[in-house]
Structures are given as structure tokens and as C-alpha cells.
Amino acid sequence: METACGRFARDGPASPVAFPLSMSAPVSPESRPDSLPDLPVRTLVARADHTAVTLDQTRLPFDRVELVLSHAADCAHAIASMQVRGAPLIGAVAAFGLALAVREASDDAALDAAHAMLLATRPTAVNLRWALDRVHARVASASPGQRWAIAWREACAIADEDVAINRAIGEHGAEHLRRLIAQRDAVGRPVDARTPLQLLTHCNAGRLAAVAHGTALAPIYALHRTGVPLHVWVDETRPRNQGASLTAWELADAGVPCTVVADNAGGLLMRQGRVDAVIVGCDRVARNGDVANKIGTLLKALAARDAGVPFWVACPSPTIDPASPDGEAIEIETRSARELTHITGRAADGRLQEVQLVPDGVAGFNPAFDVTPARLVDALLTEHGMVAASLAGIEAVLTASAASRASS
């Protein structure tokens, strides 16, 4: 098993090594998990010098800039400014942030203040609170002198578990995609190079949004590795364009055929029979199966239901919020209107440049997430398998997670 803090567990005690961050850099065979030989690298790496290293996602896809997180404030800034984003990655970075805060000051008041500071960075992705609460609970009962080492180990464990969870989502999801292929075979539309399996995704729920593998993209990577022809329609995902800039970048890097489409094109593609399934990620799933995800997800779910296209949500168990009875309880982040009124891209001279899109003086309103009601979600893809988006389905996942925690 690979670990965030060091080498494989089977090698004995962790001796910290840095994993390469380049998405396409060669990786030594020993740093690859056995079941996914092609996994390039992690998006978040814990280094021996007790820094956490990731990529600055505000610079992608044009510049690959490493971001070294040495202090709690670095982690808070990275999350709030969206240098790191995506629910699982936000959770892991917050965990390292709290650990780094404990290194700086480990008394109870400092611990609580750091927890509150990191929690305030973004409101919707529940992985943030889940990871902070977990590190906090782990260290609170220890004496201040022991806290730093415990907190760092817990952050590493959270990162490692994210890798394992997403790997399992990938394996379960690929199995269900194979069933879709069998259904296509049955109606005389076999999957081949000319008519690949057609998937549509929204925002970025790939490996950039997690410690590794991604969630919604994990089944796609898993299937692609087995040689099954597939193609991904990538919603551009206005206003920040995580689809056009991040999903397209990482799929292309992995050699997965993909095409960016305007957010508004999905309905047409589904009606034309050019989408076999929609797979998206999530930022918070309520106890009844309602799903908060990037703004625009709801419209895709409505279009998919009308066109009879399966709509699946990849849902790691830490993204379930038992404290939210339904979607109404989920806080929706409102972001700066400037994300709508302006856009940043690469100019002809190669420099990043921001330009204005909207007339001077016209207001913009920018809710960053929406809630898709459980009735529009055909299935939740979790690390424990596929379940219904319902009270019973969520209960089954929470029970399975509790059982696997108890046995580990």
C-alpha cells in the first residue's frame, strides 16, 4: 500500500520520500499501487521536511507551478483562492493545514482557532469540516507535546485513505460502465473505435480534485486503462472553467479522448443519443441523497432524466454529511461576480491575461454550487459500491464505512 508520508507500508516503517508531482513524469514501479499500474502520481504529496506540495490550479492548464505549503496560513490561502479545489483535495489540504498549525502552537486555544480559521475558507464541500474535525478529535485528547506528530500522521492517513477510496470508486464504476457496454451490445450498438462509450462530465472531479485518481473520472481512467474505447464530453463549466482548463488537461495528459463543449450543449447531445452516461462528482451529499455539486449540475441531471441517460454521482463517503437531512440544509457558496464579468486566458504572446466580458456597471450573481434532488440521481458510486441516492442508500454507505473503520 502506498502512503502519503512515505514508502509502501510493506517496506516497514515509513521513510519519507517525495513523489513526483508532474502529471506525466515517469514513476518508479515501487511507488505505484498494484491494482492501478498506470497511476501517474499524486496531486498532493507530504514531504520529509514536513511540507505538503501540490500544483497551483489557478495556473493550469498553461503553467505547471508547484505550490509548497509550509504553514497553516498557506493552506488556508490555497483553499480560499482555489489554488487547490475539489472536495477531497480541499479536505486533505485542510488536514495538513491543521497539522502545521499544531506545530506552530499546540495548546487548546490555538488548536480551536486554527480549526475555525481553516473551516472558514470555503463553505460547501463538507470534506473540509470532516477532515478538520477528524484531526482535531485525534489530537485533542493528547498532551500538547505529542500533538504535532499525531496531527501530521492523521493528515497523512486522510490523504492515503482518499487514494484508496477513489481507487475503489474507479473499480466499482468501471464495472458498471462495462454493464452499459453490454446493454449497447444488446441493442446492436457495440462499443468500438468508431462508436466509443460516450460519457459526459461537469466541472473537475478528476485527480486534480483529489489526492489521486479523482472520483467521477476514476471509473473512466480505470476503463481506459483496460483498452476500452471511450470518449468524454467535458462541460466547460462556467464561470471558472474547471472543465475546460482542468478536466480537459488531465484527461488529455492521460491519453483519454475528450472534447470540450459549452455547458449548454449537453442537453442537445443527450437528446441526440450521443451520451451513454453522465458522471459527476459532489461537494456534499445530504442524508436523503440530495447532491450539492458545481453550479450547472442540476441542469445536466434534468436533461439526463428527460433523455433517459443514466446520471451517476461519484460519492466518496467523506462527502456524505449526516448532519444535513436534505439539500435545503446545504450552504451554497456565492463567489465574486468578477468570475462572471471577466475571464482569464492565454494571450497570443503566451502571457495569462484577464479580459472583461460584461458591460461596465452591470451586476453579476455567482452561486458556485447547486443541489440536484435525489430523485434525479440514478445512483451514487461509492467506495463500497453503487447505491441508490436515498436514505437507505446513504445509511448503507455510512454503515459500511463504520464497519471498515472498526476493522482497520
**Residue 56 in grid coordinates:** 497551483
Extended beta strands in 236-323, E state: 258-261, 277-280, 284-285, 291-294, 311-314
- Reading across the β-sheet that carries 284-285, which strands appear in turn? 284-285, 291-294, 369-372
Q: Kindly state the smallest distance separating residue 125's Cβ from ligand MRU, in Å.
A: 6
Q: Tell me the number of residues near ligand MRU by CB under 6 A.
A: 18
**What's the start-to-end Cα distance of the chain, in Å?**
14
CA–chain centroid gap for 225, Å, is 20
Question: Is 205 a binder of ligand MRU (CB under 6 A)?
Answer: yes
The binding track of 293-322 with respect to ligand MRU, each residue x by CB under 6 A or -, is: xx----------------------------
Dist. CA 97–CA 20, nearest whole Å: 21
Dist. CA 337–CA 355, nearest whole Å: 14
Out of 83, 242, 245, 382, point to the residue binding ligand MRU (CB under 6 A).
242
Nearer to ligand MRU, 74 or 283 (CB): 283
Question: Is 279 a binder of ligand MRU (CB under 6 A)?
Answer: no
Nearer to ligand MRU, 167 or 294 (CB): 294
Question: Is 281 a binder of ligand MRU (CB under 6 A)?
Answer: yes
**Residue 27 in grid coordinates:** 514513476
Residue tagged 439526463 (cell numbers): 304
The binding track of 122-141 with respect to ligand MRU, each residue x by CB under 6 A or -, is: ---x----------------
Dist. CA 263–CA 210, nearest whole Å: 23
Q: Which of 160, 276, 283, 370 is catalytic?
A: 283
Query: Is 283 an annotated catalytic residue?
Result: yes
Per CB under 6 A, which of residues 71..90 are in contact with ligand MRU? 85-88
Q: Kindly state the smallest distance separating residue 232's Cβ from ligand MRU, in Å.
A: 14
CB 342 within 8 A of CB 336: no
Dist. CA 69–CA 103, nearest whole Å: 13
Question: Is 210 a binder of ligand MRU (CB under 6 A)?
Answer: yes
Residues that bind ligand MRU (CB under 6 A): 85-88, 125, 203, 205, 209-210, 214-215, 242, 281-283, 293-294, 368
Active site residues: 283
